[in-house]
């Protein structure tokens, strides 16, 4: 018999509360049971009463060697999953020695130019035991294939690899800007990734459809989930049009949301998003597998709400945001470091961010019962309200021809910009309090020594690239890149020739440029 969880007073805590107080919500299948359609109360029956969420820490800076050292520190501190940040040249499909990359190498993440760098990045880390999330979009296929090749060198087959690539390019056109190819070709690449992973990496989450970056750009909670699910519908349609069965790829779809300090609305937002996606997949796309109907998501605390003023106060903000994500039923969580509004996080700050999750998991009682807010008058009402408003906004996207057409018309971008402007005005007029900024400010801030990236990193990375190009078989690389261009012109899956090019030590930039030769590059149109 399993031991009964007890409160500090010694009273029993049930793993699941249900009954008369939830009857009115069950009447129209708005609530249901945890782990069952429509998944309002969580995607798994026991949620955290069995085990906590995956505790990820987002890290990556400078060189692959430096980032590898940070990963080992995080794993030793108890991190259950790694989350890789890449620098801007890598995200944009450029090598470190290109002119456009000057001054950006290793600044906001790790520089990964080739299989050699990826090998260094994960040296000594057991890829069959660690789950890895990679925040990469336009060149997601390239980085995923490098990861698979490194795992193969460790003797780890693709069937044993677990993790996620963000791979959500539509939100790049809306809010973030690290796109390479036009939308149509980007969707082709994503459907090729779905098909490739179904065959080669069956446990890999092929996309993390992201509302986080839209929220960081100013989207409200309603806009965040509405535009995210509208994008998700576009990906599903693309995959089906490419000949894939919905239940073959939908179980590996995942999502990525923000957690703000407005705890009650955030909990309601997560619960509403699960219910909406379950209905969309079952009723609109005919998904029969319950796993296809589940909205599984990763959460990151709100970087945009961190302040450079009195940065230690960010520890409080992050704790509240992390608690909201847990109460909302997240599957994995990254807690921001308190000093991220100033610079890359220091080792101490990153460790404190992880400790925040561990306190929530092991020192509070929120993990002892499933969906603690179920039946709450305010949260259930807010969940309904958010769902209704978000569905109305999704319909507005559909009325414009779907996510891609709405993006081309500038609809989502303009809606988010209006929301961001409203919030900025509220802060300026002190209608919205930001502690330490427009209220309770200090006359003089305490000194802080940020982590800085060594400027010599760029030159050293360029030297490594020059050596790689000298050592490798250049003719074999060019033949492999020609095969990639041929596949891109036709309908064959581009990931197989791409993998061969990377195996011959083609660089990420060379792969991206080969596809640019065929598909072109996206040029945004200013609609205002």
pLDDT of residue 56: 81
Q: Is residue 508 part of a domain?
A: no
pLDDT of residue 448: 74
Above pLDDT 90, what percent of the chain?
79
Segment 358-369 shows an average pLDDT of 96
pLDDT of residue 161: 96
Segment 451-471 shows an average pLDDT of 89
**Nearest 5°: CA angle at 17, between 14 and 18?**
145
pLDDT, one tens digit per residue, over 484-493 is 999 999 999 9
Task: Give the relative orientation of helices 508-519 and 495-503 as an angle to the nearest 10 degrees.
Answer: 140
pLDDT of residue 167: 95
pLDDT at residue 27 above 50?
no
Any bridge partners for residue 13, and if so which? 5
Q: Is residue 6 part of a domain?
A: no
First CA to last CA across the chain, in angstroms? Answer: 65
**Please, which pLDDT band fits residue 500 given cuts at 50, 70 and 90?**
very high
Segment 169-198 shows an average pLDDT of 93
**Please, which pLDDT band fits residue 350 given cuts at 50, 70 and 90?**
confident
Say if residues 208 and 133 touch (Cβ distance below 8 Å): yes
pLDDT of residue 262: 96
Dist. CA 439–CA 432, nearest whole Å: 10
Can you tell me whether residue 424 is helix, strand or coil? Answer: helix
Extract the tokens encoding 136. Answer: 């990469």
**Please, which pLDDT band fits residue 16 given cuts at 50, 70 and 90?**
confident
Q: Is residue 344 part of a domain?
A: yes
pLDDT at residue 528 above 50?
no
pLDDT, one tens digit per residue, over 260-295 is 999 999 999 999 999 999 999 999 999 999 999 999
pLDDT of residue 479: 98
Picking from 222, 135, 215, 226, the residue whose alpha carbon sits closest to that of residue 175 is 215
pLDDT at residue 28 above 70?
no
> Which residue reads 């501190």 in tokens?
77
pLDDT of residue 1: 42
Where do runs of H (alpha helix) occur along 100-165?
115-121, 140-153
Domain limits at 208?
17-44+51-428
pLDDT at residue 169 above 90?
yes
Cα torsion angle, 46, 47, 49, 50, sign: positive
Q: Is residue 172 part of a domain?
A: yes
| Cis, bond preceding 38 (omega within 30 deg of 0) | yes
Of residues 386 and 9, more confidence is placed in 386
Dist. CA 301–CA 214, nearest whole Å: 14
DSSP assignment of 75-115: HHTT-SEEEEEB-HHHHTT--TTSGGGTTTTTSSSB---SH
Picking from 60, 97, 62, 89, the residue whose alpha carbon sits closest to that of residue 468 is 97
| CATH classification of the domain holding 208 | 3.20.20.240
How many C-beta neighbours within 10 Å does residue 308 have?
15
pLDDT of residue 19: 62
**Please, which pLDDT band fits residue 2 given cuts at 50, 70 and 90?**
low
Segment 389-397 shows an average pLDDT of 98
**Please, which pLDDT band fits residue 31 given cuts at 50, 70 and 90?**
confident
pLDDT, one tens digit per residue, over 106-161 is 988 899 999 999 999 999 998 998 889 899 999 999 999 999 999 999 999 999 99
Q: Is residue 386 part of a domain?
A: yes
Q: What's the whole-model pTM score?
A: 0.88
Residues 6+ apart with CB under 8 A from 266: 221, 259, 260, 321, 324, 325, 328
Q: Containing H/E element for 216? A: helix 212-216
Number of domains present in the structure of the chain:
1
pLDDT at residue 24 above 60?
no
Q: Is residue 497 part of a domain?
A: no
Q: Is residue 459 part of a domain?
A: no
Segment 397-413 shows an average pLDDT of 95
Dist. CA 255–CA 39, nearest whole Å: 15
Above pLDDT 70, what percent of the chain?
95
pLDDT of residue 80: 67
Q: Is residue 514 part of a domain?
A: no
DSSP assignment of 4-19: PEE-TTS-EE-S---S
Residue 293, Cβ density class (10 Å: 0-12 exposed, 13-18 middle, ≥19 buried):
buried
pLDDT at residue 180 above 60?
yes
């Amino acid at each position: 018999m399993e031991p009964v969880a007890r409160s500090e007073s010694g009273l029993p805590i049930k793993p699941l509360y249900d009954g008369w107080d939830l009857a009115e919500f069950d009447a129209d299948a708005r609530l249901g049971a945890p782990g069952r359609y429509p998944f309002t109360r969580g995607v798994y029956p026991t949620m955290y009463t069995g085990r906590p969420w995956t505790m990820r820490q987002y890290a990556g800076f400078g060189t692959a060697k430096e980032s590898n050292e940070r990963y080992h520190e995080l794993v030793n501190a108890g991190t259950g999953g790694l989350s890789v940040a890449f620098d801007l040249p890598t995200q944009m499909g450029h090598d470190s020695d290109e002119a456009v990359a000057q001054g950006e190498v290793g600044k906001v993440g790790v520089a990964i130019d080739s299989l050699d760098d990826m090998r260094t990045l994960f040296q000594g880390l057991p890829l069959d035991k660690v789950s890895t999330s990679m925040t990469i979009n336009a060149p997601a296929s390239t980085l995923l294939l490098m990861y698979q090749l490194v795992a193969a060198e460790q003797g780890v087959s693709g069937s044993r690899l677990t993790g996620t690539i963000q791979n959500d390019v539509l939100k790049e056109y809306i809010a973030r800007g690290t796109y390479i190819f036009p939308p149509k070709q980007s969707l082709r690449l994503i459907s090729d990734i779905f098909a490739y992973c179904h065959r080669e990496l069956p446990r890999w989450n092929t996309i993390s459809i992201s509302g986080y970056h839209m929220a960081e750009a100013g989207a409200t909670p309603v806009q965040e989930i509405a535009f995210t699910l509208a994008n998700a519908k576009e990906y599903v349609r693309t995959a089906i049009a490419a000949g894939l069965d919905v239940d073959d790829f939908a179980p590996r779809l995942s999502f990525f949301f923000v957690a703000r300090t407005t705890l009650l609305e955030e909990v309601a937002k997560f619960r509403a998003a699960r219910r909406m996606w379950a209905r969309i997949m079952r009723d609109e796309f005919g998904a029969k597998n319950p796993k296809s109907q589940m909205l599984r998501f990763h959460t990151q605390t709100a970087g945009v709400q961190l302040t450079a003023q009195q940065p230690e106060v960010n520890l409080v903000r992050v704790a509240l945001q992390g608690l909201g994500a847990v109460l909302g039923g997240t599957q994995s969580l990254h807690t921001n470091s308190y000093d991220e509004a100033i610079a890359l996080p220091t080792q101490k700050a990153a460790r404190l961010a992880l400790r925040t999750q561990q306190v929530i998991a092991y020192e509070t009682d929120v993990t002892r019962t499933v969906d603690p807010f179920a039946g709450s008058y305010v949260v259930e009402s807010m969940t309904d309200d958010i769902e209704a408003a978000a569905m109305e906004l999704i319909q507005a996207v559909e009325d414009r021809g779907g996510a891609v057409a709405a993006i081309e018309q500038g609809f989502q971008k303009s809606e988010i910009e209006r929301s961001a402007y409203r919030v900025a005005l509220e802060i300026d007029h002190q209608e919205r309090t930001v502690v330490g900024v427009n209220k309770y400010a200090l006359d003089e801030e305490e000194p802080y020594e940020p982590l800085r990236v060594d400027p010599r990193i760029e030159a050293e990375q360029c030297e490594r690239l020059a050596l790689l190009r000298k050592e490798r078989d250049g003719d074999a690389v060019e033949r492999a890149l020609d095969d990639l261009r041929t596949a891109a012109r036709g309908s064959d899956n581009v990931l197989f020739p791409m993998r061969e090019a990377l195996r011959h030590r083609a660089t990420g930039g060379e792969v991206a440029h080969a596809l640019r030769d065929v598909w072109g590059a996206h040029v945004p149109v200013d609609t205002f």
